[in-house]
Amino acid sequence: MTDLHNRVALVTGGAQSIGAAIADGLAAAGATVIVGDLNPSPDHESMTLDVSNEDAVASVIAAIVAGHGSLDIVVNNAGIMFEESVADHDRTTWDRMLAINLTGPMLVTKHASSHLAASGHGAIVNVGSIEGDRCNPHHAAYAATKSGVHGLTRATAIDLGPMGIRCNAIAPGWIDTPLNASYVDSHPDRDLVIDELAKLHPIGRVGAPSDVADVVVWLAGDESRFVTGQVMTIDGGRTVRPPLPGILS
């Protein structure tokens, strides 16, 4: 089991869904967890944070270090997603997606880096997506930002490695989140959708938030001490199997 006792972790967007599971997983491994979110966490210490606001990012990180003495782990999870065709994209929504999904992780990394270096075992985990390498319809902005997160991860690993900081990313696939559940529930034949989704995955099911959290905990701990600059896909094997027409599969 990964031991994160005496380590302080910031999880952005950690009040709900995958972020909440990550916060729970880090806490279960012994870390002191602070959630930075626009909404309060029901289970962990919370600080109001808009990751697109550099002053807010700097203030929250300074407050964490002042209150807890260190910052050892950063999980850049905060993000948004909406559907809009690239042909019809509104500049305001495009800029908002970039500000939260890509600029936010950069700002948090920038202001956390000196504290992570001082900790002696600083670790950053960025939350990307399988859509950082492939794309669903009307997800131009989302896919672009997640591709950027993957690139930022590699650049961070190179730039901050000499400071003793590791940086990796995860790329989740279909995870059973409230957002995805509401999408499934809106379908006239919910059970058929669940069955068809399961068939997409060689492992035979969609992912749970805890499946993602377990990998983040490992990447945050000493067991992964020689792993950096990597994007780890967590998708139950979905993307390694080329799709076939229904009549053949």
Residue 118 has pLDDT above 70, yes or no: yes
Q: How many helices (H) and strands (E) does the chain have?
A: 8, 7
- pTM higher than the cut 0.85: yes
Q: Which of these is catalytic: 142, 165, 176, 236?
A: 142
pLDDT at 184: 72
Q: Tell me if 197 sits within 8 A of 161, measured CB to CB.
A: no
> Band of the pLDDT at 198, cuts 50, 70, 90?
confident
From the list 214, 222, 168, 221, the residue with the least C-alpha distance to 18 is 214
Please name the residue that has the structure tokens 């908002």: 96
Residue 43 has pLDDT above 70, yes or no: yes
Q: What percent of the chain has pLDDT over 90?
A: 78
The 10 Å CB-count burial string (b at 16+, else e) for 131-155 is bbeebeeebbbbbbbbbbbbebbbe
pLDDT at 183: 65
What angle is formed at CA 219 by the lines to CA 217 and CA 225, rounded to 5 degrees?
130
- Residue ranges and CATH numbers for the domains of the chain are 8-175+208-235 (3.40.50.720)
Q: Which residue type occupies 26?
A: L
Catalytic annotation present for 183: no
> Band of the pLDDT at 110, cuts 50, 70, 90?
very high
